[in-house]
């Protein structure tokens, strides 16, 4: 029996070709919001004790699986029959891989004209870099994002959040949902070319605009939002921890100074960039006089735009997160809950990530395959189980 689903995407069937990073994250977002995401894994059964424990495979949550060997023509036919019943496909191969297997968008849309075919790549489906390998740091490097992040001494990789997940997975999910809405009106599907480099460039739009207007210096640690301004940065506390301040607006800045016990009349004027080094030194010396927790109590309930810098271990225990139920602990570790929150049809985490083939029987039954069809798939080596 399949897990019950609810959410704004309930009723939508999505095929996810197994991969890593942004593609699975997109599939997780869709599954969290109710889509029936069927992951096509390689037809290699995973023995107990091998691979990552599914409870830690957060990107696979809410999905079911069928294992196929797409080098075998008979398994490609199974995939094609799934495409016939799907509303959307998401994949993250290099350009041309699925075309060589007979599962490219032209073939799939010919079979299912209303299909939305979402493609996740680093560089896009065309352009001189499209056939080459890359990772998050490379994609954000050519969009100006990496250049803009870090201290004067050099760029700092911002995890894989900015490229893979923000510039990639989020834009793929957005594009797929946009195309699905349009397909409901037109009855026609289309291809979503989601390139991480495209998405990251779009995220940088306000900074390109400010640079063009002469309001952004093309260097690190020299602007209001990149650690250049003393009132928008992180500072070390007496116990070696850190706090963040972001008091941009004047009234928030006034509140910051008041809580820090600083007299505005005695401070260098912040409107003059030449005063920033001296003002930063005052902030540095002042904040080092108390521990992080002491400063947190000082700023509690204020509009000074202050927050402690928390470690991964500390984050789930923050009172705000606990109050809103931001993290679930049902599997023995903090797992972020679906977001954003919808008032009438909220998303939900429905099941733990599947092993290859897990949940395949129920998924295929839900997708209107007969018991004889399922037995036939198993007979030719597809990995399908009833868990």
Comparing C-alpha atoms, which of 49, 212, 74 is closest to residue 144? 212
The DSSP secondary structure of 31-67, one letter per residue, reads: HHTT-EEEEEEES-PPPTTSSS-GGG-GGGTT-EEEE
Q: Is the peptide bond prior to 196 cis by the omega test (within 30 degrees of 0)?
A: no
Contacts of 375 (CB under 8 A, 6+ apart): none
| 164 among known catalytic residues | yes
Tell me the C-alpha distance between 93 and 39, whole Å: 14
Tell me the C-alpha distance between 125 and 123, whole Å: 7
For 363, phi then psi, to 5°, come to: -65, -50
- Cβ contact 121:130 at 8 Å: yes
Kind plus residue range of the DSSP H or E element containing 235 = strand 232-236
Comparing C-alpha atoms, which of 181, 163, 172 is closest to residue 30? 172
Say which of 136, 164, 193, 385 is annotated catalytic.
164
Pairing state of beta strands 232-236 and 242-246? antiparallel
| 366 among known catalytic residues | no
Write down the H helix ranges in the chain.
22-32, 73-85, 97-100, 105-111, 136-141, 145-148, 170-186, 196-203, 205-212, 250-260, 276-287, 292-299, 319-324, 360-366, 371-379
Tokens of 210: 């400010």
Say which of 135, 147, 211, 321 is annotated catalytic.
135
Q: Give the alpha-carbon dihedral of 36, 53, 387, 35, to 10 degrees.
A: -10
Q: Which residues of 350-372 are buried (b: 16+ CB within 10 A; e: fewer)?
A: bbbbbbbbbbbbbbbbbbebeee
Which residues have a catalytic role annotated?
135, 164
């Amino acid at each position: 029996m399949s897990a019950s689903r609810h959410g704004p995407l309930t009723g939508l069937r999505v095929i996810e070709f197994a991969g890593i990073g942004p593609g699975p994250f997109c599939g997780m977002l869709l599954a969290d919001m109710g889509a029936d995401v069927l992951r096509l894994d390689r037809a290699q059964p995973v023995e107990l004790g091998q691979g990552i424990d599914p409870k830690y495979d957060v990107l696979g949550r809410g999905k079911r699986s069928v294992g196929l060997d797409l080098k075998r023509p008979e398994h490609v036919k199974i995939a094609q029959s799934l495409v016939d019943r799907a509303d959307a496909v998401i994949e993250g191969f290099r350009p041309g891989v699925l075309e060589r297997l007979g599962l490219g968008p032209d073939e799939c849309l010919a079979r299912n004209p209303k299909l939305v075919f979402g493609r996740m790549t680093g560089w896009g489906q065309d352009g001189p870099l499209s056939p080459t390998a890359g990772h998050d740091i490379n994609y954000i490097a050519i969009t100006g994002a990496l250049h803009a992040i870090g201290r004067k001494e050099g760029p700092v990789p911002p995890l894989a959040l900015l490229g893979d997940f923000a510039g990639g997975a989020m834009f793929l999910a957005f594009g797929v949902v946009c195309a699905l809405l349009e397909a409901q009106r037109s009855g026609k599907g289309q291809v979503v070319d989601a390139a991480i480099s495209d998405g990251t460039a779009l995220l940088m739009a306000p900074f390109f605009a400010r640079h063009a207007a002469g309001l952004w210096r093309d260097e690190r640690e020299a602007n209001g939002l990149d650690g250049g301004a003393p009132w928008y940065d992180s500072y070390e506390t007496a116990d070696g921890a850190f706090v963040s301040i972001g008091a941009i607006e004047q009234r928030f800045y006034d509140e910051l100074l008041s809580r820090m016990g600083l007299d505005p009349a005695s401070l260098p004027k912040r409107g003059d960039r030449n005063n920033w080094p001296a003002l930063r030194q005052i902030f540095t010396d002042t904040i080092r006089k108390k521990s992080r927790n002491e400063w947190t109590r000082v700023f509690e309930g204020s509009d000074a735009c202050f927050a402690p810098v928390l470690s991964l271990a500390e984050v789930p225990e923050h009172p705000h997160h606990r109050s809103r139920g931001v993290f679930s602990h049902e599997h023995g570790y903090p797992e972020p809950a679906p977001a954003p929150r919808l008032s009438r049809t909220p998303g939900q985490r429905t099941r733990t990530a599947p092993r290859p083939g897990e949940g395949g029987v129920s998924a295929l039954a839900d997708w209107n395959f007969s018991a004889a069809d399922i037995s036939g798939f198993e007979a030719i080596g597809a990995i399908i189980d009833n868990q």
